[in-house]
Amino acid sequence: MTDFDTEISKHDGFSISEQGNLLFEECSLEELAKIYGTPCYIYSENIIRKSSREYIRAFEKCNIDYEVLYAGKAFLVQALAHILKEECLSLDASSGGEIYMALAGGFPAEKIHFHGNNKSEEELVFAIENNVGTIIIDNFHELNLVDRITHRLNKKVNIMVRTIPGVDTHTHEKIRTGQVDSKFGIPIDDFLDSFPGIIAKEHLIYQGIHCHIGSQLFDMQFYHLAIKEMVETMKHIEEKYKVKTNILNLGGGLGARYTRKDLSLSISDYVFELVGKVKEICRENRLAVPKILVEPGRSIIAEAGITLYRIGAIKEIKGLRKYLIVDGGMADNPRPSLYDAQYEALIVNKFNNKPVENVTVAGKYCESGDILIQNICLPQAENGDLMVFFTTGAYHYAMSSNYNGVPRPPVVLVNNGEHGLIVKGETYQYLNQNQVFPEWLAHK
């Protein structure tokens, strides 16, 4: 087995052509770079569909009522919304803009669940007027705001309430969301105390409760703790207020494989264990099993995406470090700077060459922290070499920026030898399109 085979065997969609070129979904990476330029985000339609279907199949085997909501914050464009609709997924949208993109892509409004911890009145009006399926209430300010809007519009809406289960997942502090001290959700005790006032609001139809404990998780014990808290909350509501909670939304968080150190937990195993634990705790509490919702984002889209870069400058500090500087960086992938995220990569045109040196891959942006990979062993690199980064489908394009006045890269969809743009690369002209002079400055 070659070094390439060892490395690439962990990543779906890759193969080698008869001419010895590296392919992703039967498309040459060198050709894609020539056509679309670099940096360039590339997504596999096949992997997106495969992961979506694995969620659906796993839940179907559990013989329960369920709904799989793709978390749009990970990555959302019109073409993806179209694919998700075809795969019968629902959507977790976190802003009015995500709702707008989904609707523009033909996604059914009734399958959209609107999240967010500070939804504006404008966003809520847009969502309610467009008949989104459910609004997830994050705090009491929002509860009252939605109540006022629905009265004004004379429309009823389904709501769920996001609660804080008090589970500390021990992941990176910036992607933990289920601990007691969180900007998201309502503490369970506060929710229970306020429950009569919530169900008394005539335009708000209570459907169930929601939690989300964090992201990039592989240890199911944290889900077990959250499930116990949530089911006991359902029991309390039923016993004290004689109201049945029909839906339990357990959020997302299942991790993706970024490096060989990441533990592997399949989508099916995750679903089976999650549902099994809900059934067990419901049985212990003598409750009927509710409809179960999950909100996968990263686990569907992360491994479906790769990013291509060209190596420009190569800088060696003797006895200390060698930098390979690529034509992208923290503006198209902020995760290493934000979360110390780790990646694996290859030099595309030298994928079968023996790794001979430890290098650091840096970006082009004017920040010392613009480092994409620390200490990776690669073949001897040269200016112009093409690099591919794996598992870049989640929170890359979605979190990208125009820092240093750099246009965002294009996004390309590939499948079975076909390829096409789903987001055009930005231009310098695009950067200026919303800029104007105030009247007094324009006349000087």
User: Is 438 within a domain?
Assistant: no
| Confidence class for position 181, pLDDT limits 50, 70, 90 | low
At residue 420, the 3 state secondary structure works out as strand
pLDDT of residue 319: 86
Q: What is the pLDDT of residues 210-231, one digit of tens each?
A: 999 888 888 888 899 999 999 9
pTM: 0.93
- On whether the CB atoms of residues 391 and 356 are closer than 8 A, the answer is no
Instruction: Give the whole-number percent of the chain exceeding pLDDT 90.
Output: 86
Last residue of a domain, one of 298, 323, 352: 298
Q: Tell me how many domains the chain contains.
A: 2
388 vs 443, residue with greater confidence: 388
The answer on 28 and 142 residing in a single domain is no
Last residue of a domain, one of 264, 298, 332: 298
Q: What is the pLDDT of residues 118-158, one digit of tens each?
A: 999 999 999 999 999 999 999 999 999 999 999 999 999 99
What's the CATH number where 374 sits? 2.40.37.10
Q: What is the pLDDT of residues 354-390, one digit of tens each?
A: 999 999 999 999 999 999 999 999 999 999 999 999 9
Last residue of a domain, one of 280, 298, 316: 298
Residue 15 has pLDDT above 50, yes or no: yes
For range 296-304, the mean pLDDT = 97
At residue 275, the 3 state secondary structure works out as helix
**What range defines the domain where residue 87 resides?**
45-298
- On whether the CB atoms of residues 150 and 128 are closer than 8 A, the answer is yes
User: Is 122 within a domain?
Assistant: yes
User: Is 63 within a domain?
Assistant: yes
Residue 384 has φ and ψ, to the nearest 5°, of 95, -10
Residue 175 has pLDDT above 90, yes or no: no
User: Is 371 within a domain?
Assistant: yes
pLDDT of residue 444: 64
User: Is 444 within a domain?
Assistant: no
User: Is 33 within a domain?
Assistant: yes
Q: What is the pLDDT of residues 19-56, one digit of tens each?
A: 999 999 999 999 999 999 999 999 999 999 999 999 99
Residue 9 has pLDDT above 70, yes or no: no
**Residues with active-site annotation:** 366
The answer on 236 and 137 residing in a single domain is yes
What's the CATH number where 50 sits? 3.20.20.10
User: Is 443 within a domain?
Assistant: no
For range 383-399, the mean pLDDT = 98
Contacts (Cβ under 8 Å, ≥6 apart) of 161: 136, 137, 186, 191, 198, 206, 208, 209, 210
The answer on 317 and 189 residing in a single domain is no
pLDDT of residue 336: 96
User: Is 99 within a domain?
Assistant: yes
For range 286-292, the mean pLDDT = 97
Q: What is the mean pLDDT of the chain?
A: 93
